[in-house]
Amino acid sequence: MRRRFSYLFPDEWIDSTYSINFEEYYKKGYRGIIFDIDNTLVPHGADADERAIELFTRLKAIGFQICLLSNNKKPRVERFNKDVNVKYIFKAQKPYHKNYYIAAMLMRLSVGSCLCVGDQLFTDIYGANRSNIHTILVNPIDPHEEIQIVLKRKLEAIVLHFYKKKLAKEGRTWPEKR
């Protein structure tokens, strides 16, 4: 059982989505991945690039089910998804946890066999943790963000300070960026 504040702590913190060893997670029994899009897979507002397309091709070959979970509107999510062709939920109202369960259902999986990868503590990580989904925080791809996200990053810095203290106590490390 998590304490309230620890719902903001990711299970893991990795520098980039593209440095995650997804094969290891598959060996551990994970079968689904819920991805945020902006600043997790591509810079804010960008279409799926070659790197994202290659990642999704690799994940599908491994055997993963994938669902995009985005607070963006349908046209933005559809534009990204046209080149990766996975399930998706737009206007997800993250951190509201209901859509994390729906994402798992769309993939025909239990939440216990899913991972959530995202760049924001107060939306991606908090919502997935409340849904009992294994969370991976990644550093944002692009440092240039909308003002409301810049303000959230200031609050995230405070939470990450305490998270780093927790990791240090456990003898674990964290990525340098952020």
What percentage of the chain carries pLDDT values higher than 90?
A: 75
Interval 97-151: pLDDT, tens? 899 999 999 999 999 999 999 999 999 999 999 999 999 999 999 877 676 777 7
Which regions of the chain does DSSP assign to beta strands (E)? Answer: 12-14, 32-35, 65-69, 87-89, 114-118, 134-138
Q: Could you tell me which of 88, 112, 1 has the C-alpha nearest to residue 36?
A: 88
**pLDDT at 4 > cutoff 90:** no
Calpha distance 97→36 (Å, rounded): 14
The per-residue pLDDT for 133 is 97
Report the relative pairing of strands 114-118 and 87-89 from DSSP bridges: unpaired
**pLDDT at 2 > cutoff 70:** no
Asked whether 169 and 149 are in contact (CB, 8 A), the reply is no
What does the CA dihedral 121, 123, 127, 133 come to, rounded to 10 degrees?
Answer: -60
Q: Calculate mean pLDDT across residues 48-56.
A: 98
**pLDDT at 28 > cutoff 70:** yes
Q: Calculate mean pLDDT across residues 47-72.
A: 98
**pLDDT at 167 > cutoff 70:** yes
- Global pTM? 0.89
CA 72 to chain centre: 14
10: three-class secondary structure by DSSP: coil
Q: Calculate mean pLDDT across residues 18-34.
A: 98
Residue 91: DSSP 8-state = S
Q: Calculate mean pLDDT across residues 54-64.
A: 98
Asked whether 13 and 163 are in contact (CB, 8 A), the reply is yes
* DSSP tally for the chain: helices H, then strands E: 6, 6
**CATH class of the domain defined by 5-169:** alpha beta
The per-residue pLDDT for 73 is 97
Which regions of 63-133 does DSSP assign to beta strands (E)? Answer: 65-69, 87-89, 114-118
**pLDDT at 168 > cutoff 80:** yes
Calpha distance 153→144 (Å, rounded): 12
Domain residue ranges of the chain, discontinuous segments joined by +: 5-169
